[in-house]
Structure 1
């Protein structure tokens, strides 16, 4: 036990071998499943290792590696193939020419820190509760298309959508929809099912045909927020 940081530190010639050994030992000792893994390129194979050892798939996969860019095959695996029941977070760069040509599978929460590669076609196939796209290249026209998609019944499970593009124009996003928009101020704080919080200080309420209302808000850092009411917080962890 390290006397300063107060957690166990082990040393292995091969880090992946060590991670597998410790994970297997703890899960066998306590007869538990792993719900979340945080991996980088060096430990990428832990996703398959954990899923192969237990009957229930992982709930959450977090890929974090700012030093090494994942390959196209690795990105496709995370987005398309890895067994994960609830939440995927990708905190990494992507190859400059990376494109995801498949439909997104159903995932409750998707958080991508560098989403320049995400196109409007990608966005329209997402079926999520929380969708967070940082450093996105989506245009105001793209966001208008997505909002119309939601108003027509698309992405029916959506509760919170955030896309930071750096250049949001709320009136372009609402182009052709202002007759269905009501100006609201000081809407207050909104907390999504996965615990993401946003302050909706100024925005427009838009109503879907089935009566469901969403607040569309442009924030100071160039982020578009779509928050769907009622605000419901679930415990997915």
Structure 2
């Protein structure tokens, strides 16, 4: 016999809803229009949820994920109608869309893949009354950046751009559009292949952490100066020590004031003769620099160099054939 949940007292209903996991909440909302309305009203009256909605739109992977207490849960997926299996017995039709209820989360089938992505995000955010906090996309999904900016006032917390598994075109155009328009407060991660001729002429940030993971060969000194981030990691860079001297001059003059950590990995190694330009007044020191990077164990540099900004702020720098490190000590020198 079905349980008459809609006739349950409000206090009991609130307790039932409060213990539902994110995927259970979204799945339950498809039971009926009345129950969806009940859930929506409940979440609008509750304190802001400590849940984070993340949108994934990468090639054929289109999902909404909810992160709760650090644990990710898939709650809704959009799949092209060509993947629909007529023999599936757990398929129903709602508002003209075919929906399959898998053991974990519902799957919606769409003819228009962009429409499908928008639909599942709108559905979950409207149901739970919270914004999108994370976005992970591929090259062909650059449109999502502007769409997110227009649909909500708050910026993303985390953003990631991944290179496609196939060698599609429009890499330079997509990269430029994303870098000029993305807004993310905590993290921006870029892993994309662009042409050797690509140049980014703009500003990026403010953000806490910027990681251009494995394809940073396009990054110039001007880019570094215009990246507004607390921590910056550049992989496969073609920067040289001479170019980094220019960045250090920029920093000594007060540029990049929020920077706390910079790590540059040289693509093909570089020659470092343990010398910096004399006007930088860099001196050898036995101080130890430590920075708690997000991607692993804290970075520690020893037997490095010290450079002082015009306002007294110190930084420790180190360089070998593979990497350049800079750790800013945001306390003014006592002498």
TM-score by length of 2: 0.59
- Partner residue of 1:38? 136
Unaligned runs of 5+ in 1: 232-237
Contact 1:183 1:203 in 2 (8 A): yes
Query: Which of residues 150, 159, 175 is equivalent to 1:75?
Result: 175
Structure 1 residues 57 and 174, CA, compared in 2 at 3 Å: closer, same or farther? Answer: same
Structure 2 distance, partners of 1:138, 1:191, is 24
Is it true that 1:148 corresponds to 2:249 in the alignment?
Answer: yes
Describe the SS at the equivalent of 2:304: strand
Describe the SS at the equivalent of 1:116: coil
Structure 1 distance, partners of 2:248, 2:195, is 28
How big is each residue's C-alpha offset from its partner over 1:124-178, in whole Å with a ceiling of 9 and x where there is no partner?
3333222221101111100111112212221111111111114344546623157
Contact 1:16 1:46 in 2 (8 A): no
- Partner residue of 2:278? 176
Describe the SS at the equivalent of 2:79: coil
Structure 1 distance, partners of 2:143, 2:150, is 11
Contact 1:141 1:172 in 2 (8 A): no
> How many aligned positions are there?
224
Query: Which of residues 196, 206, 216 is equivalent to 1:115?
Result: 216
Q: CA deviation at 1:6?
A: 7.9
Describe the SS at the equivalent of 2:305: strand
Is it true that 1:18 corresponds to 2:85 in the alignment?
Answer: no
Moved more, 112-121 or 27-36: 112-121
Describe the SS at the equivalent of 1:135: strand
TM-score by length of 1: 0.80
- Partner residue of 1:203? 304
Structure 2 distance, partners of 1:31, 1:203, is 50
Q: CA deviation at 1:214?
A: 0.8
Q: How big is the alpha-carbon RMSD for the aligned residues of Structure 1 and Structure 2?
A: 2.9
- Partner residue of 2:261? 160
Structure 1 residues 22 and 129, CA, compared in 2 at 3 Å: closer, same or farther? Answer: same
Unaligned runs of 5+ in 2: 1-22, 24-71, 81-111
Structure 2 distance, partners of 1:182, 1:216, is 10
Structure 1 residues 202 and 172, CA, compared in 2 at 3 Å: closer, same or farther? Answer: closer
Describe the SS at the equivalent of 2:299: strand
Q: CA deviation at 1:25?
A: 1.6
Structure with higher strand content: 2
- Partner residue of 1:103? 202
Describe the SS at the equivalent of 1:229: strand
